[in-house]
Chain A
Amino acid sequence: MAYDEGLKGELQKSGIFVLPFEQLYNWGRKNSIWPLQFGLACCAIEMIASAASRYDLARFGAEVFRATPRQADLMIVAGTVTKKMAPQVVRLFNQMPEPKYVIAMGACAISGGPFKDGYNVLKGVDRFIPVDVHIPGCPPRPEALIHSIMTLQRKIAGQVLGQDQRWYDKSATTEFPIPAFGAHDLEPVANPELWHPPKQYADVTIAEVLKKS
């Protein structure tokens, strides 16, 4: 959209702001993110610290932690997602209204972290729900969580009305399949529409490895 920057500046001097509606709309949305009040492990303590007075998440418009998914826009997956908890996390995400976002907070939520080799920990919540921002750290400091909120805000600010998003696509499902409990693992172990293991060794044969070394 083209508009005269000079005219915009002139008008701004007299207290009149000119901007595309989309920008105004996104500005409003990005500054009123309501997170779901929901913690899984020690990262939740850092999340609480971020919301409290010292770090004051309210400065970024994300202080209204809601105790119900029906009123939340943002799920902060703060902590280790065990395989036993994973179906409940997906169910909570399904219960949130669109548009909704996910921040995977900490090593456990993004990859399983120190518990990765365990029999009971999900190796990253992105196997079942679409994650918008990943924060590494064990646990990440409140500054890192605030940074992730700001990253999400930039992401929201860049969205185009009526385009490219899940919630504008009428054929897209808003229900993410909830994994079932199997004999040793979740069934399925990941949502195939959402997550594929990057093929690391797919093209590597012994001969090739030997050639390189």
Chain B
Amino acid sequence: MDTVEQIREAILNAVPGATVEIIPSTPAAQQPALLVDREHLLAAAKYLKEEARYQFDYCSCVTGVDYLKVGQVEVVYHLYSVALRHGPVVLKVRAPRELDKCHVPSLTPVWRGCEFQEREAFDLYGIKFDSHPDLRRILMWDEFVDHPMRKDYVAPLDYEWEPTPHDETLDRAVVAQGIIPPSAREELEKAKKK
């Protein structure tokens, strides 16, 4: 299989106007990734699937990532070719975090198997996939509001009974049970140290 650099060149030649950036591998992500701009993602994906050299006919994984400090969310696609037995190639696209601007093109028209995984990314990260055939929640119930895997999600305060509370759970339990407020807890710990 071509190197990531060669694939990048091939996409740039095939999809005029696209910007493709190589994101180097990290200890957490073994493969270097290709960051494609939102406007040209669909065309790039179609190219990677249909080009005879690549034939990436299988999208194994769609993941959302929330970068709270940067103010962006990212969608990661892992592509394999069953026909040519190579892969993975990691395709990434980024969008602003704000819910009304958090749009990326859906790749379900290219790989049918993306449908449920894009629904999951929508459900948990609030990423809207334009032209997705059926963008509903898939893991949480329909009445749920908010997107629980976002870094700024505040979970319900259901800490009314904690048999062995400690650290953060202790603080939440204390707040949930309305006995000692967290500010008072700080005082308490200071007093204990003395």
Nearest CB on A from B108, distance (A)? 24
Asked whether any CB of chain B lies closer than 8 Å to the CB of A162, the reply is: no
Q: What is the predominant secondary structure among interface residues of chain A facing chain B?
A: loop
A201 and B177 in contact, given A120-B148, A181-B142 (Cβ under 8 angstroms): yes
A181 and B191 in contact, given A197-B161, A200-B177 (Cβ under 8 angstroms): no
**Nearest-CB residue, chain A, relative to B191:** A210
A123 and B177 in contact, given A84-B140, A182-B143 (Cβ under 8 angstroms): no
- A111 and B144 contacting across the interface, CB-CB below 8 Å: no
Q: How many residues of B are counted as interface, with CB atoms below 8 angstroms from the partner's CB atoms?
A: 29
1/0 per residue B143-163: CB within 8 Å of A?
A: 111101000010110101111
A181 to B156, alpha carbons, bound, how many Å? Answer: 13
- A206 and B155 contacting across the interface, CB-CB below 8 Å: no
Query: Which stretch of A15-23, A90-98, A183-191 is in the interface?
Result: A183-191
Asked whether any CB of chain B lies closer than 8 Å to the CB of A202, the reply is: yes
Asked whether any CB of chain B lies closer than 8 Å to the CB of A164, the reply is: no
- B145 and A184 contacting across the interface, CB-CB below 8 Å: yes
Asked whether any CB of chain A lies closer than 8 Å to the CB of B33, the reply is: no
From A120, A183, A202, A206, B184 is in contact (CB under 8 Å) with: A206
A202 and B158 in contact, given A183-B144, A210-B191 (Cβ under 8 angstroms): no
Asked whether any CB of chain B lies closer than 8 Å to the CB of A173, the reply is: no
- B156 and A185 contacting across the interface, CB-CB below 8 Å: yes
- B184 and A210 contacting across the interface, CB-CB below 8 Å: no
User: A181 — which chain B residues lie within 8 A by C-beta?
Assistant: 141-144
Asked whether any CB of chain A lies closer than 8 Å to the CB of B72, the reply is: no
A93 to B175, alpha carbons, bound, how many Å? Answer: 33
A123 and B142 in contact, given A117-B169, A201-B174, A206-B180 (Cβ under 8 angstroms): no
Interface residues of A in 64-87 (CB under 8 A from B): 83-84
Nearest CB on A from B154, distance (A)? 9
A201 to B181, alpha carbons, bound, how many Å? Answer: 12
Asked whether any CB of chain B lies closer than 8 Å to the CB of A198, the reply is: yes
Asked whether any CB of chain A lies closer than 8 Å to the CB of B188, the reply is: yes
From B153, B173, B177, B192, A119 is in contact (CB under 8 Å) with: B153
Task: Return the 3 tightest CB-CB contacts between A and B, nearest first.
Answer: A197-B161, A201-B179, A197-B160
Chain B residues proximal to chain A, CB less than 8 Å: 139-146, 148, 153, 155-156, 158, 160-163, 168-169, 173-174, 177, 179-180, 184, 187-188, 191-192
Taking A120-B148, A204-B180 as known contacts, 11 extra A-B pairs with beta carbons closer than 8 A to each other, sorted by chain A number, are A83-B141, A117-B168, A181-B141, A181-B144, A184-B145, A185-B158, A197-B160, A197-B161, A200-B173, A202-B177, A213-B192
CB pairs A–B below 8 angstroms (28 shown): A83-B141, A117-B155, A117-B169, A120-B140, A120-B148, A181-B143, A181-B144, A182-B143, A183-B143, A184-B144, A184-B146, A184-B155, A184-B156, A189-B156, A197-B160, A197-B161, A199-B177, A200-B161, A200-B177, A201-B179, A201-B180, A204-B179, A204-B180, A206-B187, A206-B188, A209-B188, A210-B188, A210-B192
